[in-house]
Amino acid sequence: MALSLYVDTARWRAHQKSVIDQFPGLVPVCKGNGYGFGHERLCEEAARFGTDMLAVGTTYEAARIKDWFGGDLLVLTPFRRGEEPVPLPDRVVRSVSSVDGVYALVGARVVIECMSSMKRHGITEEELGQLHAAIEDVRLEGFALHLPLDRTDGSDAVEEVIAWMDRLRAARLPLGTMFVSHLRADELARLQQQFPQTRFRARIGTRLWLGDHEATEYRGAVLDVTRVVKGDRFGYRQQKAASDGWLVVVAGGTSHGVGLEAPKALHGVMPRAKGVARAGLATVNRNLSPFVWAGKQRWFAEPPHMQVSILFVPADAQEPKVGDELVAHLRHTTTQFDRLVDH
């Protein structure tokens, strides 16, 4: 009895192929929890479609993944002096976002991140003149731009990349390869047409692995079902049942990521109103679970436990049975499954 991730493998791989076809030279990203699939599985998929490079989040991830993927590994977190040294093979490429970082990586393979409108990290235009001497002692693999997902000011992502290409060219820096994130296929094609001597490589994770929502589904197995009547006490905190129904114990708890929620950027009146309503219900211990039974998302009977959740199913719904599976609407990047089922 488990929290399972079901994968329609043929459909999932067809989606991968469609993305790869749109983005020649694509660099798959495998970071965090492997987008819900796990690092080992994504390494297998990347090797299957023949990429020469895989991007990972940290040096620690690179150390784990190196035995599962034989190509180059691009570490996306920029190098910093004083970081804990992690033994890594020569095929690991480090991202660098400062001139000092370039100087500190003598002999290493590096990708230099430029400061984009994300304003997260990167070399600034004023620092470009200092790079000539710095790059003499490293093996420069290219430059990179991590672009924002949304452009509420109406600006053009392609124009932002072009501006940086012009700055790099004016600084007489090599423009062999430019790694980019969060561009559409048509935007990448525009850049490749304008700069035919530069190889543009899109670093893609979410769109590649999670772009087809119908290809995957989480399901939690029902472990126990207990009948309750209004007023019965139950659970760790001995709350009272609000009405007749069933307490349903289902696989999937906090260790799986059930009940965890990342903050979201809300736009518009209705999403904000719904957020306020959810917060209000939470103050009276009414929290909607991600599990669906008989066509409806069901309420947590109490906060999820470590490996299971207890749901309340009212008496007017069909009674769940032990062994049934409930579809769960879970976020891939915060969920750990017990088993993955290809079908």
Q: DSSP for 118-163, please give it.
A: T-SS-B-GGGGGGHHHHGGGSEEEEEEEE--S--TT---HHHHHHH
Query: Is pLDDT at 281 greater than 50 in this prediction?
Result: no
Backbone angles phi, psi at 264, to 5 degrees: -120, 145
| One-letter amino acid for residue 65 of the chain | I
Q: Which of 45, 11, 15 is nearest to 28 (CA)?
A: 45
66-74: long-range contacts, CB 8 A cutoff, minimum separation 24: 66/91, 66/92, 68/39, 68/40, 68/43, 68/44, 69/30, 69/43, 71/46, 71/47, 72/109, 74/27, 74/111, 74/179, 74/203
H or E element, residue 219: strand 216-228
216-342 fold: Lyase, Ornithine Decarboxylase; Chain A, domain 1 (2.40.37)
CATH 2.40.37.10 in the chain, residue ranges: 216-342
Q: Which of 263, 168, 257 is nearest to 220 (CA)?
A: 257
Confidence of residue 128 (pLDDT cuts 50, 70, 90): very high
Please report the pLDDT score of residue 266 as a whole number: 52
CATH 3.20.20.10 in the chain, residue ranges: 3-211
pLDDT digits (tens, 9 = 90+) for 37-87: 999 999 999 999 999 999 999 999 999 999 999 999 999 999 999 999 999
Query: Is pLDDT at 271 greater than 60 in this prediction?
Result: no
Please report the pLDDT score of residue 262 as a whole number: 61
Please report the pLDDT score of residue 222 as a whole number: 98
Query: Is pLDDT at 275 greater than 90 in this prediction?
Result: no
Q: Would you state the CATH architecture of domain 3-211?
A: Alpha-Beta Barrel (3.20)
| One-letter amino acid for residue 68 of the chain | W
Confidence of residue 91 (pLDDT cuts 50, 70, 90): very high
Query: Is pLDDT at 101 greater than 90 in this prediction?
Result: yes
pLDDT digits (tens, 9 = 90+) for 4-38: 999 999 999 999 999 999 999 999 999 999 999 99
pLDDT digits (tens, 9 = 90+) for 158-206: 999 999 999 999 999 999 999 999 999 999 999 999 999 999 999 999 9
